[in-house]
Amino acid sequence: MRVRLETDNPAATAFFKAYARAASVLVVVGLIGAWALKLRQEQQQVTRQWHIEQERVRELEQETRRLQEQASTLQQTYESQLAELRQPQLNPPSYDVMAQDFIQRSGEAVQPVCIPPAAKTFRLILIGEGRPRYPGYGVEMFNREGQSVWRGDGLKRDDNGDFVMMLGRAFLPPGAYRLKVYGQRGGRSREIGAYVILVE
């Protein structure tokens, strides 16, 4: 059995209708407020993200300028060194370098050959006395840590039987270096002498 509530009071009916409309309005206002709050939060988040991205852009621009300035400085240094090397070098100094095993056998207290800062280019004469002869020769250069910094083939003896190399300071930063000369025959290499220099 269904029970239907009816009222003949117009004032009550109007009140309930007004109450229902007010409740609906409150619900709509609440939904709009919640939506506006969410929209505001999203907008704030987007604004924060935008500021973060702008800061990253500024940092990248600063790093780019720093790298450009560094590259420009290196380019100027390189061009200056290249221009200096292209000029004629008068009377480049020569340094005779004895093999380490020869020095040890002689028992003499021989200091490593020191290349002074004023020597922009210089000749190293690696004394070949007592070194076995081969059809070809190669040379390899090592730094203080034992890392190979350069290797070349086609080295030849001069009229005195020595090995001559022309080097530039731009190629060799200050430090100690060990040069190893290899004899080459039939595709094989054998060390025949080690020489030590000190670039100041």
Residues 25 and 68 in one domain: yes
* E-state strands within the chain: 94-97, 113-115, 121-126, 136-142, 148-155, 163-168, 175-185, 188-199
Q: Based on the domain organization, do 109 and 124 belong to the same domain? A: yes
Q: CB-side exposure of 97: number of CA atoms within 13 Å?
A: 28
Residues 106 and 194 in one domain: yes
| Whether residues 193 and 108 fall in one domain | yes
pLDDT number for residue 136: 96
* Same structural domain, 73 and 140: no
Q: pTM for this one? A: 0.57
Structural domains counted in the chain: 2
In angstroms, the Cα distances linking 121 to 18, 45, 90, 101, 167 are 103, 63, 10, 27, 6
Is the domain of 44 the same as that of 104? no
Residues spanned by the domain of 78: 1-87
Q: Take residue 37 and report the two structure tokens written for it.
A: 């709050």
In this structure, the answer to whether residues 123 and 183 fall within a common structural domain is yes
- 186: CATH: 2.60.40.4070
- Looking at the structure, tell me whether residues 36 and 2 fall in a common domain: yes
Residue where a domain stops, chosen among 41, 65, 87 = 87
Q: Tell me, what's the pLDDT at 143?
A: 92
Residues 22 and 155: their CA atoms lie apart, in Å, by: 102
Q: Which of 68, 87, 106 is the last residue of a domain?
A: 87
DSSP string, 66-133: HHHHHHHHHHHHHHHHHHHHHS---S--EEEE--HHHHHHHT--PPPEEE-TT-SEEEEEE--TTPPP
Residue 136 sits in the same domain as residue 77: no
Of 87, 112, 128, the position where a domain reaches its end is 87
| Tally of CB atoms within 10 A around 180 | 19
Residues 145 and 108 in one domain: yes
Question: What is the full per-residue pLDDT of the chain (200 aa) written as tens digits?
Answer: 444 444 556 666 766 676 677 677 777 777 887 887 888 888 888 888 888 888 888 888 888 888 988 888 888 877 776 676 667 777 788 889 989 887 777 666 555 677 787 777 888 999 998 899 999 999 999 999 999 999 999 999 999 999 999 888 778 888 889 999 999 999 899 999 999 988 88
Q: Distance between CA atoms of 24 and 195, rounded to whole angstroms?
A: 98
Report the pLDDT value the prediction gives residue 109, as an integer from 0 to 100.
52
pLDDT at residue 5, rounded to an integer: 47
Same domain, 194 and 99: yes
